[in-house]
Structure 1
Amino acid sequence: MTKLTHIAYQIIAPTLIILGILGNALNLIVLSRPFLNECTRIYLRALAIADLNVLIFQIPTIIRLNHIQGGSMFFAIYHAHLELVLVTTFIAFSVYIVMGLTIERYISVCVPTMFNTLHTKRNAKIFLVSCFVIAFITSVPLFLLKLVCRTNNECHKWSIEENIEITETIYWYVYLCISETLIRIGPAVVLIILNTLIIRKFRIVSKKRKNFLIPSQQFDFKNSRLVLGGVCLRSKKFQEEKRLIILLQAVMVLFFLTMIPSSCLSLLYSESENLKLSYQIFRAVANLLETANSALNFCAYFLCSKEFRTGLSSIFVRNPVENNRKRASVNESDLKGGDNIQTITIENGNTSS
């Protein structure tokens, strides 16, 4: 168990947390750039903030699991009553945001006539606030899971223990089943159904677009390009839908792989199992996967979104073509001279005289 604790909570978990915090910070920076529509960016920024808070609030958890909190009353109260409430609230908030993004894509692809009515910044903000409130209300009963106990009256050391009077009742088990259904199992079912419908409808729409083209037109579905008279005209909306769906599928797969084990852990949790090595191994794997869910969304964005990669590269590397054009315009104005000469400058892809 000592070796397991060392590997899981002193090496892997801190590494995931550090990488996840950096990745989500980069997400927020890149998502501040307008490469997606405003409503979608609101959802993705909220998802990055939720994941960032999950990772930050898991730092005290790692401290507790490594037994370095020192036994102070402040840490004991935090670990007993606040730790799980805060972490679970932001985990649930993150899950609901992914579900909201999937619902948005479902409306866009399957019920496009309602999309413009529902796809507004106001509705997005109302949805996010409602999700956070529901996540918090669902997590609040975890306040009762542990008790603070004094272990050494002379040294004023405190510890936490399971609140058996609460956790061994049928009401607590009913609460766990309801909370897991609302936070993990229910959203998982919704994601499966909606993504299946989205993929099916998207394929039908793609086939119809191909059939509606006249013989002189060609559609390159691999690259989402309309070829007309030898000229390629890119369908921006089609490309955006396609990439967002790929991104959502990646996030959904990541969700299933990382969240379902922690859901099983919540239902099986018991202090009496802590002395079993098999239970501790499963607990460590489930906790690490849950941490990875918040840490690896950056990888999903990077691998599945060309616009995200372009936005990320623009932070560190300036566009050499744009710089050459700027220098050319400056040199041309210097050569021409005069107060009445108009020069064309190019700034961020826009022209101005």
Structure 2
Amino acid sequence: MGSYGIAENLSSLVVIFNSTPEIIALNITNGPGPCDDATDEYSGFYNVAQFITGLIIYPIVCILGIIGNTLTLIVLSHKDMATSTNVYLSALAVSDTIKLINDFFYFIMVVLQDQNLDKDMRLISNFYPYAHYIFNMSVCVTAWLTVSVAVERYISICIITRAKEMCTISKARIVSTVVFLTMIILTIPSALRYEAIHQVDTYKNITCYTVLPSALGNNSDFMDPYTWVQNSLRSIIPLIVLIFLNARIINELRKQRVKGKKLSSRNRITLMLIAIIIFFTVCIMPDAFMSLFFGFGYVDESNLVKGIREITDSLLAINSAFNFVLYCSMSKIFRTTFSKIFLTRCLAPKPSQERLLNNGTCIEKEAKSVNRKDSSSGSGNNNKETFV
């Protein structure tokens, strides 16, 4: 999907255009016209990759991921979860949700594009620059929020004397806000890189919408260094920083580990965050590798590169959808708070039902419940301890 890569079975994927689109009359007397599909030996590979990712992986991953991230935000906003780490994780869930919504529209665009209708291609052309921008912005935000989590864990584990001062909720909110605003501004050229052109193919006597680099996109003096900067911010620098910090944190935990002794609550949380960082690192590594050798210009690339981008971008989507699973599987306090919010409310008797029982049944049930609690108070405390 590249820089969002709205699937291009037709190489005429498109970008936003003004209400009065530019019309270019091309006097072609020989050869293929501008509305023909660009094909090469890798067209089949690209089409298969696009079908698997765009029509199978994305709808499943996006729907489950959006639900999971929404539940994550509800749980992390609970008063029991008010920590600086959870501020970062909440911001991360917001960024991931934005990306997954954007990716879900990619699925819709693929379906519409298969219809190959002029109005559908016009709709895609209106959407593409926003999608291209949101994709790059959200991936950059996710990357640097993950780095922020790693930095906080590094301070908490390796610079314990400064942790209380530096790892506060207010500072976490400031850092998260700065990350969002910085990446929103720095990725603005992504929205201006392409423009949609309404072309007239005189060879076939038809018109079509085609994506071409804008004046800014054709300005190599600006776009070449900017592409390297964005590549670096999106994956290369975060990947290097995360590998370094993870290695330091794991090494410090190994030193602090006492054989035969259970991990402290702080270190259990750190292990969960390490798992999140490692999963993100694995998912972003192929994108970082591609960014070292290719630009972000999905429209500009060959079918081989587009097909590979479909695969690497699907890994980024999976990363955005998977954190809820990690939280549930590795954090007791997350599971406890989740149960408190959702399960307890569902299972608790409704007050209106108790009021209907005015023949003494309700009182008797309550008395029996109190007796059971008194007779097994020790086990009740143990269960609570274990659960938390």
Q: Report TM bin, short chain.
A: 0.7 to 0.9
| Paired position in structure 2 for 1:293 | 319
Cα 1:141–1:18 shift into 2, 3 Å: same
Once residues 198 and 42 of structure 1 are traced to their aligned partners in structure 2, the CA distance between those partners, rounded to angstroms, is: 20
Cα 1:303–1:243 shift into 2, 3 Å: same
Give 1:321 shift: 12
Once residues 347 and 110 of structure 2 are traced to their aligned partners in structure 1, the CA distance between those partners, rounded to angstroms, is: 52
| Paired position in structure 2 for 1:161 | 212
Once residues 369 and 311 of structure 2 are traced to their aligned partners in structure 1, the CA distance between those partners, rounded to angstroms, is: 64
1:250 and 2:286 correspond? no
Partner of residue 138 from structure 2, selected from 73, 90, 114: 90
Q: Which amino acid aligns with 2:127?
A: Y
Once residues 321 and 3 of structure 1 are traced to their aligned partners in structure 2, the CA distance between those partners, rounded to angstroms, is: 47
Q: Which amino acid aligns with 1:303?
A: S
| Paired position in structure 2 for 1:184 | 235
Give 1:317 shift: 3.2
**Residues 85 and 142, structure 1, Cα contact 8 Å, conserved in 2:** yes
| Paired position in structure 1 for 2:101 | 56
**Higher mean C-alpha displacement, 158-167 vs 305-314:** 158-167
Cα 1:255–1:167 shift into 2, 3 Å: farther
**Higher mean C-alpha displacement, 38-47 vs 310-319:** 310-319
Q: Which amino acid aligns with 1:46?
A: A
3-state DSSP of counterpart to 1:172: helix
Write out per-residue CA displacement over residues 155-210 of structure 1, whole angstroms, 9 at most, x where no aligned residue: 98634233487357254222121112122111111111112222222233334xx7
Matches within 5 A, 1:34-73: 34-66=79-111, 67=113, 70-71=119-120, 73=122
Cα 1:164–1:177 shift into 2, 3 Å: same
Give 1:150 shift: 0.9
**Higher mean C-alpha displacement, 143-152 vs 101-110:** 143-152
| Paired position in structure 2 for 1:260 | 285
1:331 and 2:379 correspond? no
Cα 1:319–1:146 shift into 2, 3 Å: closer
Give 1:53 shift: 0.8
Once residues 146 and 62 of structure 2 are traced to their aligned partners in structure 1, the CA distance between those partners, rounded to angstroms, is: 20
Cα 1:142–1:310 shift into 2, 3 Å: same
Report the RMSD for the aligned CA atoms in angstroms.
Answer: 3.4
Once residues 59 and 334 of structure 1 are traced to their aligned partners in structure 2, the CA distance between those partners, rounded to angstroms, is: 51
**Higher mean C-alpha displacement, 98-107 vs 241-250:** 241-250
Give 1:111 shift: 1.3
Give 1:132 shift: 0.8
**Higher mean C-alpha displacement, 245-254 vs 33-42:** 33-42
Once residues 227 and 290 of structure 2 are traced to their aligned partners in structure 1, the CA distance between those partners, rounded to angstroms, is: 11
Unaligned runs of 5+ in 1: 211-219, 225-237, 336-345
**Residues 39 and 119, structure 1, Cα contact 8 Å, conserved in 2:** yes
Cα 1:257–1:299 shift into 2, 3 Å: same
Q: Which amino acid aligns with 1:189?
A: I
Write out per-residue CA displacement over residues 257-293 of structure 1, whole angstroms, 9 at most, x where no aligned residue: 211222344452454543x3x4343122112111111
3-state DSSP of counterpart to 2:92: helix
Q: Using the aligned pairs only, state the percent identity.
A: 25
Once residues 142 and 199 of structure 1 are traced to their aligned partners in structure 2, the CA distance between those partners, rounded to angstroms, is: 37
Using structure 1 for the length normalisation, give the TM-score: 0.75
Cα 1:203–1:43 shift into 2, 3 Å: same
**Higher mean C-alpha displacement, 265-274 vs 300-309:** 265-274
Once residues 68 and 363 of structure 2 are traced to their aligned partners in structure 1, the CA distance between those partners, rounded to angstroms, is: 34
Q: Which amino acid aligns with 2:165?
A: T
Matches within 5 A, 1:106-185: 106-151=154-199, 158-163=209-214, 166-167=217-218, 169=220, 171-185=222-236
Unaligned runs of 5+ in 2: 1-43, 350-361, 372-379
Give 1:48 shift: 0.8
| Paired position in structure 2 for 1:281 | 307
Structure number with higher relative contact order (C-alpha < 8 Å, ≥ 6 residues apart): 2
> Between Structure 1 and Structure 2, how many residues are aligned?
306
3-state DSSP of counterpart to 1:185: helix
**Residues 58 and 103, structure 2, Cα contact 8 Å, conserved in 1:** no
Once residues 8 and 164 of structure 1 are traced to their aligned partners in structure 2, the CA distance between those partners, rounded to angstroms, is: 31
3-state DSSP of counterpart to 1:149: strand
Once residues 247 and 207 of structure 2 are traced to their aligned partners in structure 1, the CA distance between those partners, rounded to angstroms, is: 57
**Higher mean C-alpha displacement, 2-11 vs 123-132:** 2-11
| Paired position in structure 1 for 2:50 | 5
3-state DSSP of counterpart to 2:143: helix
Q: Which amino acid aligns with 1:293?
A: N
Cα 1:30–1:320 shift into 2, 3 Å: closer
3-state DSSP of counterpart to 1:317: helix
Write out per-residue CA displacement over residues 55-78 of structure 1, whole angstroms, 9 at most, x where no aligned residue: 112223333344168346564233
Once residues 65 and 53 of structure 2 are traced to their aligned partners in structure 1, the CA distance between those partners, rounded to angstroms, is: 16
**Residues 167 and 173, structure 1, Cα contact 8 Å, conserved in 2:** no
**Residues 72 and 156, structure 1, Cα contact 8 Å, conserved in 2:** no
**Higher mean C-alpha displacement, 68-77 vs 105-114:** 68-77
Partner of residue 304 from structure 1, selected from 316, 327, 330: 330
